[in-house]
Each structure stands twice: as structure tokens, then as C-alpha cells.
Amino acid sequence: MCLSWHDRPMRRRHASLSNVIDRTIESQAKLGRYKDFSAAIQDAAWNYFVGPDLPFDEYGVSPAEVERAHPKVLAGIKRERRKGILKPCL
């Protein structure tokens, strides 16, 4: 069984954004900072209402450390999948 944060259901909401906010978020998503528009909105809402570094503080790391480690961790996951050590969650 694969238990992780992405198994939780997401709730769909509809919101109206001003043109300036819409263009800003769209540009961040197009630059590749976010996977899609929804991810950019979620990050912005989290940073505004909850606090920017709360998830990082919980694990005792900084956002910069996570960004630096990401390519190495991702490469390790790909290696393990190719070797058959790591199986995808179904």
C-alpha cells in the first residue's frame, strides 16, 4: 500500500481572479516554477494564509536545501525504478 500526501482527495473550487493576478500566476506556471496553474494557486494560498516555510520547518530543512537535493533524489528514484527495486504505487 502506498500512503503519501498525494493520495488525499482534492476539493475543486471556482474562483475569480483579477487580470493582474491571473497573468502573474500564469507566467509563473509557464516559466516552469509550477507544474500547472492549480499548483501555483495552491502555493500562493499556502504562503499567504499558513506561512511560507512551515513544511520546511517541520522537517528541519530550508527551501534552498530542498531545491538543491531535488535533482539528486529524482535521479536516485529513476535508477531504482530501472533496476526494479522501486515499484510505482497503483
Cell numbers 499548483 correspond to 39
**Are 59 and 37 in a shared domain?**
no
Same domain, 37 and 69: no
Please give the pLDDT value at position 90: 62
Residues 86 and 75 in one domain: yes
Cα-based distances in Å from 64 to 12, 50, 79, 81, 87:
30, 19, 24, 26, 29
> Within this chain, do residues 70 and 84 fall inside the same structural domain, yes or no?
yes
The pTM (predicted TM-score) of the whole model is: 0.44
Question: What's the total number of domains in the chain?
Answer: 2
Looking at residue 75, what is its pLDDT?
92
Mean pLDDT, rounded, for 6-21:
77
Q: Please give the pLDDT value at position 19.
A: 92
What pLDDT, on a 0 to 100 scale, did the predictor assign at position 7? 52
- Give tens-digit pLDDT for 14-53: 888 899 989 888 888 888 888 888 888 888 887 777 766 6
